[in-house]
Structure 1
Amino acid sequence: MKNIKNLILLSILMFSVSCSDDYLDVNGSSANPSSSTPDLVLPAAQKNSADMLYDADKLNASGDSFNRIGSIHAGVLADAGDRVWYQPEQQYLILNSTYSRIWENTYTLTLFTYNFIETFEADGYDNYKAIAKIMKAFHIAMLVDTYGDIPYSEAFGRGSNTQPAYDDDQEVYDAIYNELNTAISMIDNAPPGTLTASTDAMLGGDMDEWKKFANTLKLRMLLRQVNTGASLAAKYSELISNGIGFIDATVSVNPGYANQANQQNPFYTVFGLTPGGNPTNNNQAARGNEFFVEFLKDSDDPRLTQLFVPAASDGEIRGIPQNNYTNAFRSDATSPLGPGLLVDSTQDLQVMLGSESLFLQAEAAFRGLIPGDPASLYKSGIAASFSELGATGATAYEADSFNNKINWALASSSGNELEAIITQKWIAGGFISGFEVWMDRVRTGFPSGIPIPVGAFSPIFPSNLLYPTSEIATNSANVPDQGDNAAFDRHTFWMQ
């Protein structure tokens, strides 16, 4: 508890200093608060990472985040019929103000703190700097995936450049991929330093695990690009020959979450109960998309009762069609999120699921990009998802012979292997890693059959967000033109 209080104070201090200038001005002396050192800043930076994933608009307590909008656009999350909490997202109404805090606060809070660590001028912090490089790559990749071209080369320099140029999105991707390799090399060659388990709230100072995390991020980035036609064989070869491997358990962060105001796990803060035990607005609004819930029910999926609890009105587990604001789907007649998602306010915050790592490997192996048995990796991914959600019966579930999106042998006989992998990844991460399943839907079109909400402004689901109003107002000379149908035309380089 004391730890998280200190992190909150440090985050507020660093944020208040940086906000004295434009929100993209991470170039001034505020990036070097004289009383801070990497060992003090790293846990605060990791806390900020968690907030960007699940509660990026923390100052306004809206819950806007990469993962929430991802869950909605991946056909997983829906709004209760007597709430109007996610209506613009469900209507596919994408404006320059839509979730703008995920852009603004990724730069101001998250990248700001990691850049401070990376550029800290003192010896003995090599592992801290390597972690900062890895986490910068993690967040910058999400910005590219969401917006396309972004400020990169001029975003973190010294001086007073409050209007940084935009870099080509593919060039940014290539640069941060190289940064991941640099980070791995730094870890391999780091002299004894000050990194300890108490100053690394994610992986407890285990630098071998940080290398595996970096390698897994590289695999995620390479698979994003499968439709571009780029020759990536050398990178896949290096990915395997480096001998690092991939994460085999969930990467989480927990800086000391507690059941007190401003100290709860961010996911729980948004979707759970207040410290006083009252449901939050999102708790009352958040329901499963009817398509998602019915798929689980039709498949006799044991994870159903971990993802949802029965509706108060009749004890049935029930989802809701997105953008359906009728009394039939009011909050007490539909299912709130379940115990596999909402454990308690002190639960770890997932940054990357172990099941995602296995499904990434399964896809790459199926495509012949890395060695390995895709069937075994697929089944291991399902088992990992069951474990992550506290469900049992994974082996019997996967052996079910009636559904080619579950049973690998049936998927193989019908040429449905890729959709089976992506569908299981969708179930495993839909509420936890919503951004990833959204990007998979953009990249592969799977799972198939997710309906466009009735009353949506577009017959195509969104694939991008628009540059925020604040950026257009302060950096208009550099902001790229996104076109007339920018939220739906898949303009990021890998969206072919």
Structure 2
Amino acid sequence: MKNIKNIVLLTLLTLSFSCSDNYLDVNGSSTSPSSSTPDLVLPAAQKNSADMLYDADKLNASGDSFNRIGSIHAGVLADAGDRVWYQPEQQYLILNSTYSRIWENTYTLALFTYNFIETFEADGYDNYKAIAKIMKAFHIAMLVDTYGDIPYSEAFGRGNNTQPAYDDDKAVYDAIYEELNTAISMIDNAPAGTLAASTDAMLGGDMEEWKKFANTLKLRMLLRQVNTAVDLSSQYSELTSNGIGFVDTTVSVNPGYANQANQQNPFYTIFGLTPGGTPTNNNQAARGNEFFVEFLRDNNDPRLTQLFVPAASDGEIRGIPQNVYTNALRADATSALGPGLLVSSTQDLQVMLGSESLFLQAEAAFRGLISGDPAALYRAGIAASFSELGATGADVYESAAFSNKINWDLAAAAGNEIEAIITQKWIAGGFISGFEVWMDRVRTGFPSGIPIPTGAFSPVFPSNLLYPTSELATNSANVPEQGDNAAFDRHTFWMQ
């Protein structure tokens, strides 16, 4: 891990001289990290991927990220009553400036570095290029999910085209799906020994695991489209017939996190303690949505005490309704994030939970889209979530016959299988993979019953973000219309 850390630091120094401050450096930069090679750039690119998930606003260190806004809009994360850190998000106030850095830095930091790897003109880097394709697909899918149409086919022309056209969102999804297939084929045909394990901060150079990750990303993308009229039966058939399988443990990244300034795990940097041991501002602000906390409590969920610590004022685990600011619900009277989330400043950064993979398979199997036992996959997903959060008692919890959002037999009797799967996925990933549970809520409407926050500007929860102000300023001729913000009628193709 020390070797990876040194590679990351060296590469970031190299890249810092090649990236401008423009939002889309993949277009705007007139130079390139010509002294770098894919083996040097890959771990730095993977660090950038981690940052996009949990700390995309590197300039201001605000913690704006895909997962934080996802957790808020999925009814999981709330603001302490005396903090007012997440009020605009909880009010459903979506502006062109809202979380704009997740667009800008996904292009500038993550996609820039992966595109460099993918297009590097030298032999012997087949597996590096395959990984770059997989991670580009990972990030581009998130951009499509968040915004709809995006620059893709012209997005990587660098200085040759500083105003790229926008591609149709469905066409982008189809293109990156095929890129995942291409990456798998590249791995199958790569000469042995073309990637050093020490340069891969995610999967340690295990290319069979990279194939599983690509296959699982394909499953995620296909299930996004479950409500469309597109016939995807051949794609589902290929997912299982290709013999690759799906990830069965959490895919994570650790480029050498350390308890030092600018080197902590980004989730811990935002929600944990400073290297000196002082709680961060977000640590004092971040609380569980009352709906989320009470759902766990009502169902005797052992994960509750792993997700939250008791309030300092009275020792009770207490959430807070979103957008409610009162002294009675101040930081010390509500529950901060717990030991299942904040393990240490050096903990791995989760990219895809193993529990998510199992719940994806459970949903697809229940819908008859892939083979498999949905009940067994559902129970395995719960067990994986318990393990991920350091909780015990998964079997007793799932077998309890008092809720059809927990017990599979009750869910089946009520015709409630999809909601049970999505609800468990929401619990497992709400604070870790907030973006995914937000997209599930957009796609399925589950979990049901999550209240619209008091004082929200819209009675409809958000489904997208608006194109950033920087894009309107530099590429306005190509930016598509997005509809009425207050009504949230901007829709990615799979939401229709």
Superposition TM-score tier, normalisation by shorter sequence: over 0.9
Map residues 86-485 of structure 1 onto 2, 5 A cutoff.
86-157=86-157, 159-485=159-485
How far residue 348 of structure 1 moved from its aligned partner, in angstroms, is 0.2
Q: Deviations over 1:163-222 (max 9, x none)?
A: 000000000000000000000000000013441111000000000000000000000000
* Contact 1:219-1:360 within 8 A present in 2 as well: yes
Q: Which residue of 2 aligns with 1:17?
A: 18
Aligned-partner Cα distance in 2 for 1:182–1:486: 40
Q: Secondary structure at the match of 2:229?
A: coil
What does residue 26 of structure 2 align with? Answer: 26
Counterpart secondary structure, 1:78? strand
1:285–1:12 distance in 2 versus 1, CA, 3 Å? farther
- How many Å separate the matches in 2 of 1:275 and 1:78? 25
Note the alpha carbon deviations across 1:357-379, whole angstroms, 9 max, x for none. 00000000000000110000000
> How many angstroms apart in 2 are the aligned matches of 1:6 and 1:238?
37
Partner of 1:53: 53
Letter in 1 for 2:376: S
- Distance in 2 of aligned mates of 1:323 and 1:83: 11
DSSP-derived class of the 2:493 partner: coil
Aligned-pair CA distance for 1:24:
1.7
Matches within 5 A, 1:476-495: 476-485=476-485, 488-495=488-495
Preserved CA contact (<8 Å) 2:80 2:284: yes
Whole-Å separation in 2 of the counterparts to 1:28 and 1:469: 17
Q: Aligned partner of 1:372: which letter?
A: G
- Measure how far apart 1:15 and its partner are: 4.2
Instruction: Measure how far apart 1:14 and its partner are.
Output: 1.6
Question: Displacement, 1:161?
Answer: 0.6
Q: CA deviation at 1:456?
A: 0.5
CA deviations 1:280-311 (Å, max 9, x no partner) are: 00000000000000000000000000000000
- Partners in 2 of 1:276 and 1:353 — Cα distance? 30
Moved more, 153-162 or 246-255: 153-162
Taking the aligned partners of 2:338 and 2:25, their CA distance within structure 1 comes to 41
TM-score normalised over the length of structure 1? 0.98
Contact 1:149 1:169 in 2 (8 A): yes
2: CA distance, partners of 1:235 / 1:486: 36
1:485 CA displacement: 2.8
Say if 1:322 and 1:300 are closer, same or farther in 2 by CA, change over 3 A: same
Aligned length: 495
Select between 163-172 and 10-19 the one with higher mean Cα deviation.
10-19
State the distance in 1 between where 2:270 and 2:485 align. 31
Q: TM-score, normalised by structure 2?
A: 0.98
Q: Name the CA distance, whole Å, in 2 between partners of 1:19 and 1:156.
A: 15
Deviations 1:43-77 (A, max 9, x none): 00000000000000022110000000000000000
* 2:14–2:36 CA contact under 8 A, matched in 1: no
Question: Is residue 125–residue 193 contact of structure 1 (8 Å, CA) maintained in 2?
Answer: no
Distance 1:29 1:309 in 2: 46
Q: Which residue of 1 aligns with 2:8?
A: 7
Deviations 1:457-486 (A, max 9, x none): 000100000000000000000000111237
The equivalent residue for 1:43 is: 43
C-alpha contact (below 8 Å) 2:386/2:392 kept by paired residues: yes
User: Structure 2: where are the runs of 5+ without partners?
Assistant: none
Helix, strand or coil at the partner of 1:325: coil
Q: Distance in 2 between matches of 1:61 and 1:12?
A: 19
Structure 1 portions without partners, runs of 5+: none
- Distance of aligned partners of 1:471 and 1:269 in 2 relative to their CA distance in 1, 3 Å threshold: same
Q: Amino acid of the residue matched to residue 14 of structure 1?
A: L
Distance of aligned partners of 1:483 and 1:263 in 2 relative to their CA distance in 1, 3 Å threshold: same
Contact 2:137–2:180 (8 Å) recurs in 1: yes
